[in-house]
Chains A and B, each alone.
Chain A
Amino acid sequence: MPAANRLTAVLFLAIALIAFVNTWQFSLGTFDEPGPGLFPKLIAGLLAMLSMPLIARKGISANDGDFLRLLRPSLAIFAAALVFAATIQGSSLARFGIGVPALGMPAAGTLALLVSGLAEKRTRWVRLAILATLLPLGFSVILRFALGQPVTLAPWLLGY
């Protein structure tokens, strides 16, 4: 497996190249009137340049073990937040024929917390389910009624 370090450096190089290409249309300007392309191109160029030595390094990095160990929790936490984002107001992936209804904060929070349970190998699911039901509900009620935040509770049931 290629070293994670090098993969990360390749990611930086790709970001730099995308930025460079995307800002190509913007003028560099002149010294007395620098254009909108100057700073992003300068930074993208420097980023690409500094990524090169890391790509050139061979072998497995000492951090590769950490990287693999982190994949499970980071993917689960990432997925949990995405589930929250996708369900709180509803969303649609029309191209795939998927429509997600607006669930409101308590239900979106419950789903997110259940997904976050995947971060651990030995999650106690019953305990998590109880927590995932009560915590978002309590939190949403506090946000809406105590702090006056415009939080939707259960639009599919209560209409708000």
Chain B
Amino acid sequence: MDMISNIELGLWTALTPENLSLCLLGCLIGTLVGVLPGIGPGATIAMLLPVTFGLPATGAMVMLAGIYYGAQYGGSTTAILVKIPGEATSLVTVFDGHAMAKLGKAGVALGIAAIASFIAGTITTLLIALLAAPLSVFALEFGPVETFALLLLGLSCVVALSQGSLLKAAIMALLGLLLSTIGTDPMQPLQRLTFGWTEIADGFNFVVVAMGLFGLAEIANSLASREDRTQGYTRIGRLLPNWSEFKKSLAPILRGTFLGSALGFLPGNGAVVAPFASYAVEKGLAHDRERFGNGAIEGIAGPEAANNAAAQAAFVPLLTLGIPPNPIMALMMGAMILHGIVPGPRVLTEQPELFWGVVASMWIGNLMLLVINLPLVGVWVRLLNVDYKLLYPAIVLFCCAGVYSLGSSPADVAQMAAFGFLGTILSANGFEPAPLLLGLVLGRPLEEKLRQSLELSQGSVSSFLDSPIAVVLLVLSAIAIVASVLRSMQKLPSRPATLA
């Protein structure tokens, strides 16, 4: 099938009343969690994973994807109006977005953020449609050696691009890898590290760990660092930018889109890095740099386009290579696995409706967000006043009941509690949970492919050097780690939290 017929198939799938409703629901939930205090898209997706059991796979993915990019919109709204980035990806929007709000141009800032996200979403959808098929055909050629190298690259990038200490990120990734070895050996019928506990004979359930690390831990973190989200906001004013403002924003939007797409396609958390990169580019290109930080519209347009493009492009490594580039994509991977779908190059050929339906729904979702969110901005802002004391008990219940409903097992709830406690304590000490989750997800295939590679090559390590693809991927892994070691040695400013 060519690109046009693929997009046509996607649109037909995404435009069914069921998928359209789920897309709308996802976008609304996403915006809500982007705006609400103490709950992010990671926690929400983790909590909703058990609920998606009852949905068809495509519908579930469409809804979860809607939550992801809907949260980017919600995060920008609070960044602009009350100087609180709802999500890490909206941090850069605070610089000029809030400055514009203080100048009485909050509506224009919100408008250009939404328009930039929509344009970026549209272009990225086309790029995904263009690149996904060749990439998945290429990925079908991968043997154990290449897959091992790719998994290693994914893990290296997550460690290299994580916030703060590289050492701590590496430790968390290793802990995740170690947890992945618990349960039955992937190649022999042996129980490892279960200590005779039958509840973990099949290893830790990924959803249980994710809900503990991102759901429960987030509650404790939010309670401990209560932010004052009830501060007043400035007048919104007109919502649409005028022609001169739009003209000024167009080039930054396009640059941000391509930068974001490129970073999103790569393993690592492109959606967090892309807005920073875009802001740096726009500031670098500007003749009057002092405007940046004081309400420069380019400082919103570029980063907003970049974060949306990267968020959407991040689906490509998951759907075509089976590698989740960030923790939210790992949760998406969990959703696919719950529905019996193995993420990877075969999704495109065996489940074309799912692949193209999700891709098309992203464009439709962006359109929905543009149409719905701007007129509703007042409603979203009022939600900032929701008392967290009312919200967190509901989240606790949702997490407990959600995990329990996975397999009617109280042991799952107890494990979630333990991971929640561990996640809170670790994140308080600067150990991010994201590399742990990725390590847990990628650990089993990583071990399996390593052992298969060695067996197939009869113990020759040179098989990793015989494959040009594997060599390139291994070199890229090394570059990612070396570059981040150099960065930490130079004490460059670290990036913000990667999730939720």
Contacts and interface: CB of A to CB of B under 8 A. Distances in A.
B390 A131 contact: yes
A39 interface: yes
A85 B414 contact: yes
Given A34-B451, A36-B190, A70-B428, A116 B393 contact: yes
A119 B455 contact: no
Interface string B72-106: 00000000000000000000000000000000000
Interface in B53-74: 54
B178 A15 contact: yes
A11 to B, nearest CB: 9
Interface string B392-427: 111011111100110010110110111011001110
B122 to A, nearest CB: 36
A81 B399 contact: yes
Contacts of B390: 127, 131
Contact of A67 (B389, B401, B414, B428): B428
Interface string A91-106: 1000000000000010
B181 A120 contact: no
Contacts of B393: 113, 116-117, 128, 131-132, 135
A31 B216 contact: no
B306 to A, nearest CB: 30
A50 B171 contact: yes
B426 to A, nearest CB: 7
Interface in B176-234: 177-178, 181, 185, 187-188, 190, 192-193, 195, 216-217, 219-221, 223-225
B174 A46 contact: yes
Nearest to B184: A36
A154 interface: no
B59 to A, nearest CB: 15
Nearest to A84: B400
B134 interface: no
A81 B54 contact: no
A127 B457 CA distance: 66
B414 A135 contact: no
B175 interface: yes
Nearest to B447: A39
A43 to B, nearest CB: 5
Nearest to B226: A120
B459 interface: yes
A81 B458 contact: no
A40 B178 contact: yes
Interface residues of B, number: 67
A148 B51 CA distance: 11
Contacts of B389: 120, 123-124, 127-128
A66 B427 CA distance: 9
Contacts of B428: 4, 63, 66-67, 69-70
A88 interface: yes
Contacts of A26: 185, 190, 192
Interface in A17-47: 19, 22-23, 26, 30-34, 36, 38-40, 43-44, 46-47
Nearest to B454: A34
A113 B393 CA distance: 6
Contact of A54 (B167, B181, B401): B167
Given A67-B425, A73-B224, A123-B389, A85 B417 contact: yes
A113 B392 CA distance: 9
A113 to B, nearest CB: 5
Contact of B192 (A5, A36, A140): A36
Interface in A126-146: 127-128, 131-132, 135-136, 139-140, 143
Contacts of A44: 178
Contacts of A51: 171
Interface in B160-178: 167-168, 170-171, 174-175, 177-178
Interface in B438-476: 443, 447, 450-451, 454-455, 457-461
A146 to B, nearest CB: 10
26 contacts: A5-B430, A15-B178, A22-B192, A31-B454, A34-B454, A34-B455, A36-B188, A36-B190, A40-B193, A43-B174, A50-B170, A50-B171, A53-B167, A54-B168, A61-B429, A63-B430, A70-B220, A77-B219, A78-B216, A81-B400, A105-B401, A109-B400, A113-B397, A119-B220, A148-B54, A149-B405
Given A77-B396, A109-B397, 19 more contacts: A9-B171, A16-B178, A33-B455, A34-B455, A36-B187, A43-B177, A47-B178, A67-B429, A70-B220, A74-B224, A74-B420, A78-B216, A82-B414, A84-B400, A105-B401, A112-B396, A119-B220, A131-B394, A148-B54
6 A-B pairs closest in CB distance:
A31-B459, A32-B459, A81-B417, A85-B413, A74-B424, A73-B223
Interface of B: 51, 54, 167-168, 170-171, 174-175, 177-178, 181, 185, 187-188, 190, 192-193, 195, 216-217, 219-221, 223-225, 389-390, 392-394, 396-401, 404-405, 408, 410-411, 413-414, 416-418, 420-421, 424-426, 428-431, 443, 447, 450-451, 454-455, 457-461
Interface of A: 4-5, 8-9, 12, 15-16, 19, 22-23, 26, 30-34, 36, 38-40, 43-44, 46-47, 50-51, 53-54, 61, 63, 66-67, 69-70, 72-75, 77-78, 80-82, 84-86, 88-89, 91, 105, 108-109, 112-113, 116-117, 119-120, 123-124, 127-128, 131-132, 135-136, 139-140, 143, 147-151
